[in-house]
Amino acid sequence: MSNPQVSVVHDEALARARAVTQTLAADVVEREAAGKAPLREVELLRESGLLPLLLPAEHGGSGAGWPTAWAVVRTITAVDPSIGQLLGYHYLHSWRIRLNRRADAVARLDAAGAAGAWFWGGAGNPRDAGLQLEPVRGGFLLSGTKHFATGAEVADRINASGTRTGTGEKLALAVDAHQDGVRHGGDWDALGQRLSASGSVTFDGAFVSEDDVLGPNEQADPGAPAFATLHVLSFQAMLAQLYVGIAEGALAAGAEYTRTKSRAWATSGVEEAVDDPLVRQRYGQLDARLRAAAALADRAAASLTRAAERGWDLEAQERADVAVELAAAKVVTTEAALEVTSTVFELTGARATKTGTGLDRYWRDARTLTLHDPAAHKAVEVGDRLLSGTAPVPSAYS
């Protein structure tokens, strides 16, 4: 943040994020309970000017860096975790297109995305069957279904990849989300993250122009260039930030409830709940643990930023070091998010479980989102590095 221009962009983005949270906070409990597609929320993000945050200034974007994006996402997540995830994934998808070879296509999409304030979604669940590309004049027809397609339902462009029929070549794509042949399942019905638009998307002969083919999808190939595989690590970094943001929101909401509504326990010997030494101690423990988790998440995210700055010169060993850092952050932030979002109920009391209070949504959101690849396997990766010096093998999750 030593660059004055960077600091101005950072401060302005955070001010806009705080303005967004004021609007979201007004009816977040009611919206979360209704669980409708977040069309209005995406328009709010569009109007805020936050969508082109990571796009290069020379292409009309804000030219901000990842530290600003993570700070914005954490700010919004603390109030509305679903919308925080949507915005975080938008940043990931609008950024990850530059991990492909066709710089001309990336520059064109950046400029169009900045001019139109595009919102990006994704269709890349690795546990589903791959999408198929049939060559036609001027491009391809895309077919297949992807689940957990966060943001696709409310997107302008969808980040995807497909396999060319006949040759088996894998290609990275930007897909127009509003065209014929794109159908959204509207089938997201989870315990938490209810407004994250994470249902299925089906492509039934959707046209993809040659101009929107970003090049060969090297990201899943054995021995792929390290830079091409950073999309996986960027998702891990974003998830850690989301976990911290959820916990920060839950802790702040719990503390406010304790200050204003909780009653002191009958045998505590104090008049106000905030004066109970047991309550004070537990809040202090949670806050301290969350601060540590946030610091680790930020340190791991910073290592990813440095790796990305290396571009195509990034080496496999450098990537491995970042992967272990992020695995450690994933373990700690998962545990912190689940502990904080659960323990605040012990500190607010039985009345805090009343429908409409809204504290439960933080736990439901944390419980749902932390299942995005098991933290236990991340702990194994950290343990393997310590015990045998081995590094995580690049995959769809590491």
Confidence band (pLDDT; 50, 70, 90) for 162?
very high
In whole angstroms, what is the distance from residue 17 CA to residue 64 CA? 14
> Residues with Cβ < 8 Å from 164, sequence gap 6 or more?
133, 135, 140, 170, 171
Mean pLDDT along residues 65-81:
97
Find the distance separating the first CA and the last CA of the chain, reported in whole Å. Answer: 29
Average pLDDT value for the chain: 95
- Break the chain into its structural domains and give their ranges: 4-116, 120-220, 226-388
Locate all alpha helices (DSSP H) within the chain, ordered by sequence: 4-25, 28-34, 39-48, 66-77, 81-96, 103-116, 230-260, 277-309, 316-348, 359-369, 375-388
Q: pLDDT, tens digit, for every residue of 298-339?
A: 999 999 999 999 999 999 999 999 999 999 999 999 999 999
Using DSSP bridges, classify how beta strands 170-176 and 157-164 pair: parallel, antiparallel or unpaired. Answer: antiparallel
The pLDDT score that the predictor gives to residue 6 is: 63
What single letter denotes the amino acid at residue 84?
G
List C-alpha distances in Å: 134 to 124, 170, 219: 18, 12, 21
Polymer length of the chain: 398
pLDDT at 81 over 70: yes
Topology of domain 120-220 in CATH is Butyryl-CoA Dehydrogenase, subunit A; domain 2 (2.40.110)
pLDDT at 178 over 70: yes
- Among 18-27, 122-131, 198-207, 300-309, the least confident range: 122-131
pLDDT at 75 over 70: yes
In whole angstroms, what is the distance from residue 297 CA to residue 232 CA? 16
Confidence band (pLDDT; 50, 70, 90) for 7?
confident
183: nearest Cα among 164, 156, 201, 171: 201
In whole angstroms, what is the distance from residue 378 CA to residue 81 CA? 23
The pLDDT score that the predictor gives to residue 355 is: 87
> Residues with Cβ < 8 Å from 143, sequence gap 6 or more?
131, 132, 134, 203, 204, 205, 206
Relative orientation angle of helices 230-260 and 316-348, to the nearest 10 degrees: 20
Exposed/middle/buried for residue 393 (C-beta within 10 Å: 0-12, 13-18, 19+): exposed
Q: Which CATH superfamily is domain 226-388 in?
A: Butyryl-CoA Dehydrogenase, subunit A, domain 3 (1.20.140.10)
CATH of region 4-116: 1.10.540.10
Confidence band (pLDDT; 50, 70, 90) for 396?
confident
Q: pLDDT, tens digit, for every residue of 337-366?
A: 999 999 999 999 999 999 889 999 999 999
Tokens of 397: 């999750």
The pLDDT score that the predictor gives to residue 61 is: 96
Whether the CB-CB separation of 208 and 133 falls below 8 Å is answered with yes
